[in-house]
């Protein structure tokens, strides 16, 4: 299955036949005080810099979350989407729990963005899927529903099936639904990683859907988080994941290496290009 | 299937139910000038240091290769095995293309070492397997035979089956044969990684044998080799590999993270222990 996203200047294809797609996670104030302060102060230069640095480090798509308590997330989403559309080529991933903010983002974003996210919850399905359908966007389906996050790979598959079914009923192409199998921290639950990896395998086998990861959550509360995130990305790509919301500065190298090892990078060209770019960025940051 | 190795002071179990086993690769002069010079000069202090630093960094087993053109590898193997047995607890992996050197190592090593390696080549099977059987050792079976290295996972499986069959005919328990699916550099052949990963999956499924990797070869000729080796180890562990000959200083963190993500490390205890040990070693090296 293929999911195609686009901005005015760039088309990104998500699928097992393509390189793994990197969705830059940093335009999000959750747990990032500097970003929250920038949104509060209307400091768009800071947001522009973050966008440019993520694109330079290998982000194919940029996630956009503007949720800060007390701020008008609907107005901000429209403004930030316009800003990003001017300064980077990457298609956008509109990230909000507020359907009104998603709607504002969908109005402001050109071509075909990704919506982050719908879940299997009744209300969420009813609020978000029509927006996605009307706008011809793609959507991330998070595997949770009114019963919470299912414990086993089989029960997670059932929620993924429900989300896909509802989307297709509404007229959204199945290929435009990217499933996110959810991962909890292995610091809190030693089985959290394997359950998510098995869910990825099951969804690829049974549904063939594209699979996204919120990859940084897996290491919450543990030391040396990047090494856990790297291992998780490699394992998840091996199991069939096709895109991730992650930090391109730290994770592009392991992702390009995984693609290479899985036979998806002829002559190692993308791997070597990413290595040279990382060297260039490092030299610039030290200059 | 379980493979149990032992020295006088330590028992190491290889198997999917156990943590991934790290075989330290550094006591090997191939491509390491300092190590070759130490063997030439009889500088056993250098070898002792290498052994201790690998054990401290997380090596469960130590590979021992003393092959330098012009030196008496039979005598050296015996001497170095005695030395290692005095300074570290880890069981040994005796590594030589020369059956006489393997024999000397087997005589010197206590309890149950690992022999690296037999292949599917007729002469090699005839020379090495009887030594393994007589000594009650375990052995690594490299997937190559008189026709070279087979190109496809299916043909590699056939060579693995041949090695296992011959070993069992001689009275070596099937669990004492660890299969090495061989990996060539992805710098030379973009399909080299995926062929090896598919071979691992096939061998686990069809034979259930333990699987070893000579993990560093995969990145030969490419820049930023450690990141490729890390991605390969995570992918291979996910596919079913159970031990690797690798650099514990650089690779222990990604291996312990992979075990944790695969649900083999309750309360992340081994991961955290390895992290603390790495911090301690780093502090010592900077002191």
Q: Is the pLDDT of residue B287 over 90?
A: no
pLDDT of residue B205: 96
pLDDT of residue A195: 97
Q: Does B239 touch chain A (CB under 8 A)?
A: yes
CB atoms within 10 A of CB A62: 27
ipTM of the complex: 0.96
Please give the average per-residue pLDDT across B24-47, as a whole number.
Answer: 94
CB contacts under 8 A, B 264-283 vs A, are 265-268, 271-272, 275
Please give the average per-residue pLDDT across B32-50, as a whole number.
Answer: 95
- How many Cβ pairs within 8 Å bridge chains A and B? 120
pLDDT of residue B244: 98
Peptide bond into A264 cis (omega under 30): no
Which of A186, A224, A275 minimises the CB distance to B261?
A186
**B115-140: per-residue pLDDT in tens?**
999 999 999 999 999 999 999 999 99
pLDDT of residue A174: 97
Which of A230, A239, A263 minimises the CB distance to B190?
A263
pLDDT of residue B247: 96
pLDDT of residue A216: 85
pLDDT of residue A250: 97
pLDDT of residue B216: 85
CA distance to partner chain A, nearest, from residue B78 (Å): 38
Are B74 and B98 in contact by the 8 Å Cβ rule? The answer is: yes
Query: How far is CA B19 from its chain centroid?
Result: 15
Q: Is the pLDDT of residue A72 over 90?
A: yes
Contacts 24+ apart (CB under 8 A), A142-151: A142/A117, A142/A118, A142/A180, A142/A182, A143/A119, A143/A179, A143/A180, A143/A181, A143/A182, A143/A199, A144/A119, A144/A120, A144/A182, A145/A119, A145/A120, A145/A121, A146/A120, A146/A121, A146/A122, A149/A182, A149/A184, A151/A195
The confidence band for A287, taking pLDDT boundaries of 50, 70 and 90, is: confident
**A153-176: per-residue pLDDT in tens?**
999 999 999 999 999 999 999 999
Which of A187, A238, A265 minimises the CB distance to B238?
A238
Residue B156 CA to residue B162 CA, distance in Å, equals 10
Which of B223, B261, B267 minimises the CB distance to A235?
B261
Cβ distance of B197 and A268 shorter than 8 Å = no
- Helix (H) or strand (E) segment spanning residue B64: strand B61-64
pLDDT of residue A139: 98
**A131-143: per-residue pLDDT in tens?**
999 999 999 999 9
CA distance to partner chain A, nearest, from residue B190 (Å): 5
Write down the mean pLDDT value for chain A.
Answer: 96
Q: Does A200 touch chain B (CB under 8 A)?
A: no
Q: Does A221 touch chain B (CB under 8 A)?
A: no
pLDDT of residue B29: 96
- Helix (H) or strand (E) segment spanning residue A232: helix A225-239
Residue A265 CA to residue B216 CA, distance in Å, equals 19
The vertex-A71 CA angle with A246 and A140, nearest 5°, equals 35
Residue B124 CA to residue B99 CA, distance in Å, equals 9
Interface mutation target, options A151, A227, A250, chain B, most CBs of B under 10 Å? A227
pLDDT of residue B168: 98
Radius of gyration of chain A (CA): 18
Pairing of strands B212-214, B243-246: parallel
pLDDT of residue A147: 94
Question: A189: nearest CA in chain B?
Answer: B267
pLDDT of residue B98: 97
Q: Does B222 touch chain A (CB under 8 A)?
A: yes
Please give the average per-residue pLDDT across B203-231, as a whole number.
Answer: 95
Cβ distance of A194 and B218 shorter than 8 Å = no
The pTM for the full model equals 0.97
Q: Does A191 touch chain B (CB under 8 A)?
A: yes
Write down the mean pLDDT value for chain B.
Answer: 96
**A180-222: per-residue pLDDT in tens?**
999 999 999 999 999 999 999 999 999 999 999 998 899 999 9
CA distances from B146 to B93, B118, B122, B159, B184 (A): 24, 12, 7, 10, 18
CA distance to partner chain B, nearest, from residue A264 (Å): 8
Q: DSSP E strands: which ranges in B154-209? A: 177-180
CA distance to partner chain B, nearest, from residue A216 (Å): 13
Q: Does B241 touch chain A (CB under 8 A)?
A: no
pLDDT of residue A227: 98
């Amino acid at each position: 299955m293929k999911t195609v996203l686009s901005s005015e200047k760039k088309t990104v294809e998500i699928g097992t036949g393509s390189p793994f797609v990197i969705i830059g996670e940093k335009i999000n104030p959750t747990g990032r005080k500097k970003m929250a302060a920038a949104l509060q102060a209307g400091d768009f230069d800071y947001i522009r810099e973050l966008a440019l640095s993520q694109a330079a480090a290998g982000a194919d798509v940029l996630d956009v979350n503007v949720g800060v308590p007390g701020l008008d997330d609907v107005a901000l989403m429209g403004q930030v989407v316009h800003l990003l559309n001017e300064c980077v080529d990457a298609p956008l991933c509109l990230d909000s729990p507020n359907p009104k903010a998603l709607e504002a983002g969908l109005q402001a974003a050109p071509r075909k963005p990704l919506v982050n996210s719908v879940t299997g919850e009744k209300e969420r399905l009813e609020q978000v899927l029509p927006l996605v359908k009307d706008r011809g966007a793609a959507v991330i389906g998070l595997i949770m529903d009114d019963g919470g996050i299912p414990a086993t790979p089989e029960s997670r598959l059932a929620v993924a099936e429900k989300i896909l079914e509802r989307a297709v009923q509404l007229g959204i192409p199945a290929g435009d639904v990217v499933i996110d199998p959810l991962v909890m921290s292995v610091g809190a639950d030693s089985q959290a990683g394997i359950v998510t990896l098995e869910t990825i395998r099951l969804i690829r086998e049974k549904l063939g859907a594209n699979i996204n990861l919120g990859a940084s959550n897996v290491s919450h509360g543990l030391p040396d988080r990047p090494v856990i995130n790297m291992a998780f990305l490699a394992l998840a790509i091996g199991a069939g994941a096709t895109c991730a919301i992650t930090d391109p500065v730290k994770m592009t190298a392991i992702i390009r290496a995984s693609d290479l090892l899985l036979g998806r990078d002829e002559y190692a060209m993308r791997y070597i290009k990413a290595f040279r770019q990382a060297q260039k960025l490092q030299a610039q940051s030290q200059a």
